[in-house]
Amino acid sequence: MPVTHQRLMSRNRMLRFLEELENASGITVSLCFPPGVTEIEIEELIDRASGLPEMPSDLVNLIRTSKTGAAIFCGKQNRCMVIPPFPIVEKQIFDGYHPTCLSSLLQHDLLIALVLVRLGDYAIGVFRGEEFLTGKVGTGLVHSRHRKGGSSQRRFERHREKQMESFFIRVCGHVRAQLEPYALHLDYIFYGGERNTLLNFRKQCRFLEQFDSQTMENVLNVRRPRQADLKESIAQVWSSQLIEWKSG
């Protein structure tokens, strides 16, 4: 029965891991899967790999559902799969150890924007790799939900909706000011905060529509956007998921 171990690894730690894997040698095959591959395509590529050890069955589904694809490195002793932070470009198979499809993503200092929003708090940042270039952090008044019933609740909800609209308009203006100078060169944009708040904010902030093709779907977990959260979030953005297994 295959045994799996999973962990998140930072950008630098993953690059060191790839170097260690190369030095350990023994890798007999390397596979690269872009996002969107079908189960049939995955199984066909696996079948083409000579000497590929047994893979846990749930890993095939993990490859199929990954929004960024996966890289697999297999040998008699070292067997692992990496879910990268950014999409792998093409489907490939190599004899021996060949980490280029993964290492090229991690070594390139991509231009990344973070937009973190919760009601009453926001943090915006632009990064080259993990280096902070520019940003804006702030707050705004949005009252919590009113728990009483009747006409007073309806008046309060209308007032709260106006507060939300005013807050979103102001945050959208800051987003435009921070992102517009980099708009033509932005590689990816990540959102963080509360999902419904982000959905409503993006509907109102039409400026962000131009980045739909660069938007990553995973929402970053941010409790209250602050300057420190930008640093923590960019580290989260660059993290890869490592899965190791062996036959037991």
- Provide the pLDDT confidence category of residue 1 given band limits of 50, 70 and 90: very low
Q: Do domains 2-108 and 111-237 have the same CATH topology?
A: no
Rounded to a whole number, what is the largest CA-CA distance in the chain? 72
- Provide the pLDDT confidence category of residue 79 given band limits of 50, 70 and 90: confident
Cα separation, 72 vs 79, in Å, equals 8
Superfamily of domain 2-108: eRF1 domain 1 (3.30.960.10)
Predicted confidence at residue 138, as pLDDT, reads: 94
- Provide the pLDDT confidence category of residue 58 given band limits of 50, 70 and 90: confident
Q: pLDDT digits over 128-174, tens only? A: 999 999 999 998 755 555 555 545 556 656 656 788 788 899 999 99
The CATH number of 111-237 is 3.30.420.60
Predicted confidence at residue 49, as pLDDT, reads: 79
Supply 207's token pair. 């400026």
Q: pLDDT digits over 172-212, tens only? A: 999 999 999 999 999 999 999 999 999 999 999 999 999 99
Question: Which H or E run includes 123?
Answer: strand 121-128
Instruction: Spell out the residues 6+ positions from residue 228 whose beta carbon is closer than 8 angstroms to its own.
Output: none
Per-domain residue ranges of the chain: 2-108, 111-237
Cα of 220 vs its chain's centroid, Å: 8
Paired sense of beta strands 240-247 and 2-9, if any = antiparallel
The whole-number average pLDDT for the span 208-236 is: 94
What are the φ/ψ torsions at residue 155 (nearest 5 degrees)? -65, -40
